Amino acid sequence: MRIGIVLYPTFGGSGVLATELGKALASEGHEVHFISYNQPARLDFFSPGIFYHEVSIPQYPLFEYAPYETALAGKMVDIVKSAHLQLLHVHYAIPHASAALMAKAILALEGIRIPVITTLHGTDITLVGREASYEPVVSWSINQSDVVTAVSKSLKRDTYSHFHVNRDIEVVPNFIDFDRFSKKPKDHFKKAISPNGEKVLIHTSNFRKVKRVGDVLQVFRKVLDKMPARLLLIGDGPERSNIESLCRDLQTCDQVSFLGKQEAIEEILSIGDLFLLPSQTESFGLAALEAMACEVPVISSNAGGLPEVNIEGETGFLADVGDVDQMAEKALYLLQNEDKLKQFRAHALAQAQRFDLNSVLGQYVTLYEKALAE
């Protein structure tokens, strides 16, 4: 198949997922054309069968806000025609779905049929998409897409409850590539981070408010009150300076390392004992899945799709959003009990294996075939 993938090029979950999906499709022999405003973060190599098309947005003095959606739709029209694409798979509804539908309508006038598959990822539904000025366009583009997928049952439910949607939504979960994400022997690194065998807690995110990174620090403070430990914070974003200042207020700075954006996350996860994800909302929680694939149990909130990924009392524990006491109590329960920790590590890996890339890839391909057949 010749597939166009429209995505955000940043380190965010939807962009990472879309890039990995495209790479996997290409390795199965499909021709994949990525369309975005920048080179996607994990697409920095050459591979036959993978193409990247940059959307450039012409500037004009009249524009206070450059019309990205128009430029994106125009680019899609161009690439569908020149590369003879058979379908467009857009990741994150805003503005990718409506731009794809605009391209589809333009192409229809020329007798070209191009199905649009829209994957809803999370904040496009639970947060920003609900804004009154976006909602009608998001509802319309979900209803008009040929196939719509959501990354969890929870996100599917949220879509029906927040939007005027009257069509089927398929649940296709996030996936993990075990060729990359598995526990690596990194003893030298562990020794450098925790020379006296301190337990290592890890959090990864884009440091937006929705991730509640402050809760990560609060939980860590409570753990530190009972035992020596280290906290590794991976990622960067708007809340970073607030978190640094909270780190000073809580007197945890000597035990916390801000690692910034990291490419080889699996190597860092390999030295982890516990992963913290206390998000306000989380449609799936790809970061938790990546940790579990590296045999790291998870303490998370019970928001959104997290209970579908992190199984209470098996792969980790869940608590209400903001309940840092409960999260710290459960963290200590595991960190102070070697046998339990070992058992939870094994369960975390087994649960991650249910989201193996190879099985989820097949689900997308089946949906592509269905869209092409209609």
Cα separation of 1 and 369, whole Å? 9
Among 4, 6, 9, 12, binds ligand GMT (CB under 6 A): 12
Cβ nearer to ligand GMT, comparing 80 with 94: 94
Binders of ligand GMT among residues 127 to 166 (CB under 6 A) are 151
Among 210, 229, 293, 294, binds ligand GMT (CB under 6 A): 210
CA distances from 279 to 1, 96, 139, 171, 240 (A): 37, 25, 25, 21, 15
Cα separation of 196 and 138, whole Å? 52
Cα separation of 126 and 45, whole Å? 34
Cα separation of 287 and 210, whole Å? 14
Q: If binding is defined by CB under 6 A, does position 19 make contact with ligand GMT?
A: no
Among 6, 17, 117, 274, binds ligand GMT (CB under 6 A): 17
Cα separation of 233 and 203, whole Å? 5
Please tell me the number of Cα atoms within 13 Å of 347 on its side-chain side. 17
Amino acid code (one letter) for 80: V
- Window contacting ligand GMT (CB under 6 A); options: 97-105, 116-124, 322-330, 357-365: 116-124
Binders of ligand GMT among residues 71 to 100 (CB under 6 A) are 92
Residues 89 and 2 sit within 8 Å (Cβ to Cβ): no
- Provide, rounded to whole angstroms, the least separation between the CB of residue 15 and ligand GMT: 6
Cβ nearer to ligand GMT, comparing 206 with 310: 206
Q: Order the strands of the 50-54 sheet from edge to edge.
A: 50-54, 31-36, 2-6, 87-91, 116-120, 147-150, 170-171
- Provide, rounded to whole angstroms, the least separation between the CB of residue 92 and ligand GMT: 5
Residues 198 and 229 sit within 8 Å (Cβ to Cβ): yes
**Count of residues of this chain found to bind ligand GMT when the rule CB under 6 A is applied:** 21
- Joined together, the tokens standing for residue 208 give 């937006």
Q: If binding is defined by CB under 6 A, does position 121 make contact with ligand GMT?
A: yes
Binders of ligand GMT among residues 248 to 287 (CB under 6 A) are 279, 281-286
Among 14, 19, 36, 141, binds ligand GMT (CB under 6 A): 14
Helix (H, G, I), strand (E, B) or coil at 245: helix
Binders of ligand GMT among residues 21 to 40 (CB under 6 A) are none
- The site map against ligand GMT for 173-192 (x = CB under 6 A) is -x------------------
Binders of ligand GMT among residues 287 to 326 (CB under 6 A) are none
- Provide, rounded to whole angstroms, the least separation between the CB of residue 316 and ligand GMT: 16
Binding positions for ligand GMT, rule: CB under 6 A: 12-15, 17, 92, 121-123, 126, 151, 174, 206, 210, 279, 281-286
